[in-house]
Structure 1
Amino acid sequence: MTMRLAILCPGQGGQHPGMFDLLREDAQAAGFLSRCDLDRLLKAPLAQVLADPAQLFANICAQPLIVAAQLATWQALRAELETIAGAPAVVAGYSVGELSAYAIAGVFDASATVTLAARRAALMSEAAAAAPAQGLMSFGGMAVDALQARLQSQGAHAAIVTGADTLIAGGLNAALQAAATALAGQGVRSAALPIGLASHTPLMHEAVAPFLAELDAMAVHAPAMPLLAGVSGQGIADGGQARQLLARQLTETIQWAACMDACVERGVTVALELGPGSALSRMLRERHPHIQCRSLADFRSLTGLLSWLRRQAD
């Protein structure tokens, strides 16, 4: 079998106190994390943040932590992955994970991307301060078009489309709760997510211009491998387009279902989620069961992960 590998980079929600444990055992990953200087970016010792759930799940810490973990994982695995499967057939990121995907595809410098994640988090938190008590909530059990219409009627927004009848909604907490209550009688499931801002909705509008300024100050290159845009599920052609699409995803709906379908269209046979967590590999297995999907979170060592990948290539 000729392996066609997708690299998937998740967003917030799966971070945990041991998210760097495997990475510290690898010289490439550990060196990258040292260069990122996370204590400075977090404005607190990393060990303290990891041990405190309030800090670990706070947006201001979560975004740089997640991007740092994903890019450290890429540093640790890249050479072996290319030996096993060649260059990835596609790279895609979900929410803040899209920053990691850009760096993996060579659009941004990896260390600079971790700093960018910290700036993005700060700008989004500042935007959220103008309309406090906002967040994200999952909904499932009704066709997406109908769900979006019901959410809009309650003043909420579709933030991420994850399936034919599932999505993540964002908005003020009161609007989300009103939508959940109204839809419960129609068999719709809902659950609040541990994210205190309405990512990928118009409530993030004030973050767009300063984030674009951050992007304009960075060296940006055309993708060196196929890279998907979260807002469309389509490929990104050049650096200028990459900037605009990454800024758009602050306020526009992420089309993750379209990204998963794009993996099939590009002939992906195996997908690896860089973690933390395993939400993306679970979603891809459910939508496209013929793709072999695993996450770093499924393994107790990087060696175990690489052994699994070699078996897929046999």
Structure 2
Amino acid sequence: MDKQNLALVFPGQGSQKVGMLAELAEAHPIITATFAEASDALDYDMWKLVQQGEQEQLNLTETTQPVLLTASVAVWRLWCEQKGPRPALMAGHSLGEFSALVCAGALAFGDAVRLVRARGQAMQTAVPVGQGAMAAVMGLDDAEIERICQEQAGDGVVEAVNYNSPGQVVIAGHAGAVERTAEALKAAGAKRAVLLPVSAPFHTSLMRPAGDKLAEALEAISVSKPETPVVHNVHAQTEEEPEQIKELLIKQIYSPVKWVGCVQTMVDAGVEITVEAGPGKVLSGLNKRIHKALNCVNVDTPESLEKALAAVQA
């Protein structure tokens, strides 16, 4: 059954934590079965890492990306098993866009797990560790942030990269330029400008070498027309053509994530409920700030699954 006012959304990096989905896995074997499938694709015990590993290892980009994709796909499979309705639209934040494409039937799961590990490695090596930085900026409008980034860049790169919600934008680039810009933004009236604990300047023009590597990896991978339309980060629109989807995935690495636009596109299409499939509630919080009338629920525990199924059947 399709539900026209429902969208499923998939989280990106930052939502991972040791022990995630443990309760859900106890109640529903499909969770560990999905992790076992990913483990076979990557040749290590991913579930053991997620449950018993170190947070530091989980936070390494090349580990985080396959782990979060697997967690989201596992929750989607459980959703289907529980007879949750098919959404009218799907979307994911950064890495989450790959999760959305797997769940929409455009990418094979095994291919996607290997692909996002390669993506993570490419993103990590595009800029040497310590040379890049990201900072979250609160309480200043987008145009002002963009202007100050241009003003402060100097010989470096600093760009607005994640338009997460009204009044929350992430900037990224060379570490010195980001730190300088964060101070200038605070002086211009930003409530906060906080450096993020990440190891690379994601979604900046500095990530173009990673885009080239992803393009190579994508050459060997088959992409199909999505069974459920996916709203893409680059232009906040849906795309049906497989070759265009590949282009958007490459471009996404070095382009801003237009999350506000993605949510607005879903709302304009009649979406009233978003279900966040995967660990945490980051997107649920952002979605609510973008459009207060949205009913935003998440699924990462047995209780939240029950609540989400009740919300969509109401």
CA distance in structure 2 between the aligned counterparts of 1:185 and 1:64, rounded to whole angstroms: 39
- Answering whether residue 136 of structure 2 is matched by residue 159 of structure 1, we say no
CA distance in structure 2 between the aligned counterparts of 1:104 and 1:309, rounded to whole angstroms: 18
Shift of the alpha carbon at 1:166?
A: 2.1
| Mapped contact 2:36–2:46 kept (Cα < 8 A) | no
CA distance in structure 1 between the aligned counterparts of 2:42 and 2:225, rounded to whole angstroms: 30
Give the AA of the match of 2:237.
Q
Give the AA of the match of 2:267.
V
> Residue 143 of structure 1 aligns with which residue?
141
SS at 1:4 equivalent: strand
> Residue 236 of structure 1 aligns with which residue?
239
Shift of the alpha carbon at 1:24?
A: 2.6
Matched ranges for 1:85-104 at <5 A = 85=85, 87-104=86-103
SS at 2:263 equivalent: helix
> Residue 197 of structure 2 aligns with which residue?
194
| Mapped contact 2:41–2:114 kept (Cα < 8 A) | no
Shift of the alpha carbon at 1:187?
A: 2.0
TM-score normalised by the chain length of structure 1: 0.90
> Residue 6 of structure 1 aligns with which residue?
7
Q: 1:242 to 1:44 in 2, by over 3 A?
A: closer
CA distance in structure 1 between the aligned counterparts of 2:123 and 2:256, rounded to whole angstroms: 16
Shift of the alpha carbon at 1:48?
A: 7.6
Identical columns (%): 25
CA RMSD of aligned residues (A): 2.2
> Residue 49 of structure 2 aligns with which residue?
47
Shift of the alpha carbon at 1:135?
A: 2.4
Matched ranges for 1:17-56 at <5 A = 17-25=18-26, 26-37=28-39, 40=42, 46-47=48-49, 51-56=53-58
| Mapped contact 2:32–2:47 kept (Cα < 8 A) | no
> Residue 251 of structure 2 aligns with which residue?
248
Give the AA of the match of 1:97.
G
TM-score normalised by the chain length of structure 2: 0.90
Give the AA of the match of 1:126.
T
Give the AA of the match of 2:246.
R
Matched ranges for 1:265-284 at <5 A = 265-284=268-287
CA distance in structure 2 between the aligned counterparts of 1:272 and 1:236, rounded to whole angstroms: 21
Shift of the alpha carbon at 1:21?
A: 0.8
After superposition, the C-alpha distances for 1:229-280 in whole angstroms (9 at most, x for unaligned) are 1011101121111000010011111111000101101111211111322111
CA distance in structure 1 between the aligned counterparts of 2:180 and 2:40, rounded to whole angstroms: 39
Shift of the alpha carbon at 1:50?
A: 5.1
Residue of 105, 112, 133 corresponding to 2:131:
133
> Residue 215 of structure 2 aligns with which residue?
212
| Mapped contact 2:46–2:67 kept (Cα < 8 A) | no
SS at 1:17 equivalent: coil
CA distance in structure 2 between the aligned counterparts of 1:48 and 1:231, rounded to whole angstroms: 30
SS at 2:231 equivalent: coil
> Residue 260 of structure 2 aligns with which residue?
257
| Mapped contact 2:165–2:287 kept (Cα < 8 A) | no
CA distance in structure 2 between the aligned counterparts of 1:177 and 1:159, rounded to whole angstroms: 15
Shift of the alpha carbon at 1:45?
A: 8.3
CA distance in structure 2 between the aligned counterparts of 1:262 and 1:12, rounded to whole angstroms: 22
| Mapped contact 1:106–1:224 kept (Cα < 8 A) | yes
Shift of the alpha carbon at 1:154?
A: 2.1
CA distance in structure 1 between the aligned counterparts of 2:44 and 2:204, rounded to whole angstroms: 25
> Residue 172 of structure 1 aligns with which residue?
174
> Residue 221 of structure 1 aligns with which residue?
224
Q: 1:237 to 1:308 in 2, by over 3 A?
A: closer
SS at 1:196 equivalent: coil
> Residue 309 of structure 2 aligns with which residue?
309
Residue of 290, 293, 304 corresponding to 1:287:
290
Residue of 57, 65, 71 corresponding to 1:63:
65
> Residue 123 of structure 1 aligns with which residue?
122
Shift of the alpha carbon at 1:312?
A: 3.9
Shift of the alpha carbon at 1:228?
A: 0.7
> Residue 108 of structure 1 aligns with which residue?
107
Q: 1:45 to 1:272 in 2, by over 3 A?
A: closer
CA distance in structure 2 between the aligned counterparts of 1:75 and 1:225, rounded to whole angstroms: 15
**Structure 2 gap segments, 5+ residues each:** none
What count of residue pairs does the alignment treat as equivalent?
Answer: 306
**Structure 1 gap segments, 5+ residues each:** none
